[in-house]
Amino acid sequence: MERIVLHVDFDYFYAQCEEVRRPELRSKPVCVCVFSGRGGDSGAVATANYAARKFGAGSGIPISLAKRRLEGTGAEFLPVDFAHYDGVSDAAMHVMRGHADVFERVGRDEAYLDVTARTGGDYARATHLAQQLKNAVRAAVSLSCSVGVSPNRMLSKVASDHKKPDGLTVVRPKGAAAFLAPLGLRAIPGIGGKTEKRLAAMGLATVGDLARLDVFALNREFGRRAGTHLYNAARGIDGEPVQERGESLQYGRITTLKRDSAEYEFLEPVLLELCGQVCAAAAADSRAFRSVGVHLVLSDMAVRTRSRMLRGPTCSLAELQRAACHLLRGALEEPGTARRLGVRVADLSGSAGQGDITSYF
DNA sequence: CCCTCGATCAC
DNA sequence: CCTCATATCGAGGG
- With CA of A45 and C1' of each nucleotide, the nearest comes out as C3
Q: Say if CB A186 and CB A209 are below 8 A apart.
A: no
- DSSP E strands in A156-286: the ranges are 168-170, 250-261
A309 CA → B4 C1’, Å: 10
Q: From the Cβ of A303, is strand B under 7 Å away? A: yes
The values of phi and psi at residue A196, to 5°, are: -60, -40
Alpha-carbon gap, residue A325 to A303, rounded angstroms: 18
Phi, psi of A232 (to 5 degrees): -70, -45
Tell me the C-alpha distance between A255 and A13, whole Å. Answer: 23
Residues with pLDDT less than 70, chain A:
352-361
Q: Which nucleotide is nearest to A60 (CA to C1')?
A: C3
Of A278, A289, A279, A281, nearest to A355 by C-alpha is A289
A189 cis-preceded (ω within 30 degrees of 0): no
**A229 CA: nearest nucleotide by C1':** C9
Q: Which residue is nearest to nucleotide C11 (CA to C1')?
A: A223
In this complex, the residue with its CA at the shortest distance from the C1' of nucleotide C6 is A250
Residue A253 beta carbon within 7 A of nucleic strand C:
yes
Distance A44 CA to C4 C1' (A): 10
Residue A276 beta carbon within 7 A of nucleic strand C: no
| Res A16: pLDDT | 97
What residue is closest to C2 (Cα–C1')? A62
Nucleotides of C under 7 A from a protein CB: 1-11
> Which pLDDT score is estimated for A220?
86
CA–CA gap between residue A328 and residue A294 (Å, rounded)? 6
Q: Can you give the pLDDT at residue A37? A: 83
Can you give the pLDDT at residue A354?
A: 52
A284 CB inside 7 Å of strand C: no
0.85 cut: is pTM over it? yes
CA distances from A56 to A31, A63, A67, A167, A295 (A): 11, 12, 10, 22, 31
Coil vs helix vs strand at A122: coil
For residue A54, give every residue at least 6 positions away whose Cβ sits within 8 Å of its Cβ, in sequence order, or none. Answer: A29
Q: Give A231-243 pLDDT, tens digit per residue.
A: 999 999 999 999 9
Instruction: Judge whether A110 counts as a catalytic residue.
Output: yes
Out of A24, A110, A263, A334, the active site residue is A110
